[in-house]
Structure 1
Amino acid sequence: MRTNNRRTIRLLAVLALCTVGAGAAAGCGNAEADNGDAEARSTEPALQLGARARQVADAWDGSKAAEAWHEGYYPMEAVVQLPENGLRSEADRRAYEAGNFDLRGKLPSAPHKSGRVMWKSGSPLTTPLMEAEKAYKTLDRDSSPGPRLTVTGARLGEMTVVTTRGPATVPAWLFTLEGYASPLKRAAVSPSKLPAPPIKPLRQEAVPTDVLAPLGGLTEVAEDSRSITVVATHGSCDDGPTVEVLEASGSVVLSASVAGSKDGNCSGEMRGEKVSVKLDRPVGKRMVLDAFTGRPVPYSEWPRTSQSWS
């Protein structure tokens, strides 16, 4: 994660961030003058974080990528909804989390090739319809010993999914589970393809995590939209992750870093931790962007590492 040569890594980090673009010029001119002064070093990460976050916000503002983003379908919650009242036992919950399913019978074919994603406002989106068998395979991910859930059939219906454009009604496969009166629902459409970002990501090997680190995903947007919860990573020789926010008119840019990094022999294992970030105003339809990657932060079903889109 880090080495004992603090000065070298700090200098590489500053140089890497300075070459991202002209917007990072502030505070970069005297990178070689780092004399190891602790107070000067303590302000360096904050200066660089702000410069990079502003670059990301400016790059997306008014871009073709932002226009395509606002027209797409990007779920911000799980695309699987459990039967009403949830799963009935701990064994069933373990089976679901592990992806242990059995199929008894034959699944139907999709009645047509495409489906429509509908919002209360704005144009609907026509997108390819996922076959029931493919949707089932996203559930049945494992074949390990242990409890299992049995699917006895499926029919095409609908479900409501929270997206970056607000709640949407989407086609869904309604799977009948043995022993349950209501179905397990799985969205029958895939997220839109992410547009090419208008700014390049930073090189992870050139930037230490106490300056800037990539986020692991977004797990929750508060009901009032005034705070968001993300997964930030940290290692074995630090005090945990921190996340700073830059709010712009069209985006919310999050800058993650690691606090209290220590020199020494540290394992390379990275750990995820949820961090809640308060906003000055509701996130609304603004994009939530990662300052490190320069990309929208995907929804993640933490502690599972799978992301709904990327």
Structure 2
Amino acid sequence: MALLGGCAPAGNSPAVDPLDGLRQQAGDALAWYDHAFRAAGGAPFVPVGELTRQLGDWEPANGSYKESLAAGRVEAASTLPGAPQPAVGTIVWTDGTRHDVPLMSADGALAQLRAGGTGDCSGCAPLKLTGARLTTMTVPTTRGPATVPAWEYTLGGTAVRLARVAVDPSAVVRVAPPPRDADHPHEGLAVESATTTTASSELTVTFTGAPGPASKPCGADYGAEAVESDLAVVVIVIEYRHAKDEACSDIGAQRTASLKLSRPLGERAVLEVTQGLPVELTITG
């Protein structure tokens, strides 16, 4: 958590702003994001979270399938469909914005699904895919929810189906955390989502913080600031605690903070400061 308190400067040494480290971390995250965005050719599709979705619940007898899926132990039991011809689909955002993207085959999407697994499932039986069809799914993005082409797979021995985004990886901006070392760990509070309007420069973010206000023991109040670029903004949450060194429980609560950007967000992504990852955006008007 970002702390505002600090030690008094010694001698004539200049005072150090305790937020400077977080601002530098935010600048690194912006540079990392800009690189990922340009590497994808400026693709506007920046999904948030996982691109694989489970449809339905595992039956009691199939409880081990959960571990198999998490590990990426999924195999095709028959030939899967290739990419449609022409291999182009359309992403549609809730504001009506549309963007054509290249699609991959069901086998290609399956390879992506497997690559996203942990691989750690000693003795797990692989899930068997029995078929696939091209459909759509709604995914959170840095520009709000979008309807995206997806492959939906049927599985042997269960009514559960799997869906995986069918957009070719070349048209997807996927952001990895900037490299850090043991001497420079990730710091700060990670925002989990953001809300704004089309024309407003105000941004409201949600995160997990202290359950109560700073006027109560173990409580805290929160503010926020942003470090901005042309492609993204990184939000730094500033915490004002009731007191230092209190013995408090680990129970957290959803909190919010609002801040003013230098201009409306537009098509820029909102990133959390700890790892520089994009967060889900809601545009309310």
TM-score using structure 1 length = 0.53
- Give the conservation status (yes or no) of the 8 Å contact 1:160–1:168: yes
SS in 1 for 2:104: coil
Letter in 1 for 2:277: V
1:14-33 mapped onto 2 (5 Å cutoff): none
Aligned position for 1:288: 270
After superposition, the C-alpha distances for 1:25-73 in whole angstroms (9 at most, x for unaligned) are xxxxxxxxxxxx95338x62515246547868999xxxxx89x999701
Aligned partners of 2:149 and 2:75: how far apart in 1? 23
Q: Do structure 1's residue 115 and structure 2's residue 96 form an aligned pair?
A: no
Aligned position for 2:206: 227
Aligned partners of 1:179 and 1:215: how far apart in 2? 45
Q: Do structure 1's residue 100 and structure 2's residue 73 form an aligned pair?
A: yes
Change (3 A) 1:202 1:120: closer
- Give the conservation status (yes or no) of the 8 Å contact 1:110–1:129: yes
Change (3 A) 1:83 1:56: closer
Task: State the Cα RMSD in Å.
Answer: 4.9
Q: Do structure 1's residue 172 and structure 2's residue 150 form an aligned pair?
A: yes
Aligned partners of 2:114 and 2:26: how far apart in 1? 42
1:85-234 mapped onto 2 (5 Å cutoff): 86-88=57-59, 89-112=62-85, 113-141=87-115, 142=119, 145-181=123-159, 183-190=161-168, 192=171, 194=173, 208-209=183-184, 213=186, 220-221=192-193, 226-228=205-207
- Choose which of 20, 30, 39 in structure 1 pairs with 2:8: 39
Q: CA deviation at 1:299?
A: 6.3
Q: CA deviation at 1:228?
A: 4.1
After superposition, the C-alpha distances for 1:163-215 in whole angstroms (9 at most, x for unaligned) are 111111111101011133353111101464559xxxxx99957x953xx7478
Q: CA deviation at 1:297?
A: 1.9
Counting helix residues as a fraction of each chain, which structure ranks higher? Answer: 1
Change (3 A) 1:129 1:249: same
Q: CA deviation at 1:96?
A: 0.7
Aligned position for 2:49: 77
Change (3 A) 1:186 1:223: farther
- Give the conservation status (yes or no) of the 8 Å contact 1:213–1:255: no
Aligned partners of 1:138 and 1:275: how far apart in 2? 35
Q: CA deviation at 1:82?
A: 0.5
Letter in 1 for 2:143: R
Aligned partners of 2:270 and 2:124: how far apart in 1? 39
SS in 2 for 1:46: coil
Change (3 A) 1:57 1:147: closer
Letter in 1 for 2:99: L
Aligned position for 1:253: 234
Aligned partners of 2:81 and 2:19: how far apart in 1? 57
Aligned partners of 2:125 and 2:137: how far apart in 1? 27
SS in 2 for 1:94: helix
SS in 1 for 2:95: coil
Counting strand residues as a fraction of each chain, which structure ranks higher? Answer: 2
SS in 1 for 2:50: coil
Change (3 A) 1:144 1:167: same
Letter in 2 for 1:80: T
Which structure 2 segments of 5+ residues have no match?
A: 1-5, 32-36, 197-203, 209-221, 238-251, 281-285
Letter in 2 for 1:87: W
- Give the conservation status (yes or no) of the 8 Å contact 1:107–1:132: yes
Q: CA deviation at 1:133?
A: 0.5
Q: Report sequence identity in percent.
A: 28
After superposition, the C-alpha distances for 1:94-129 in whole angstroms (9 at most, x for unaligned) are 111111123211101112211111112253111110
Q: CA deviation at 1:93?
A: 0.6
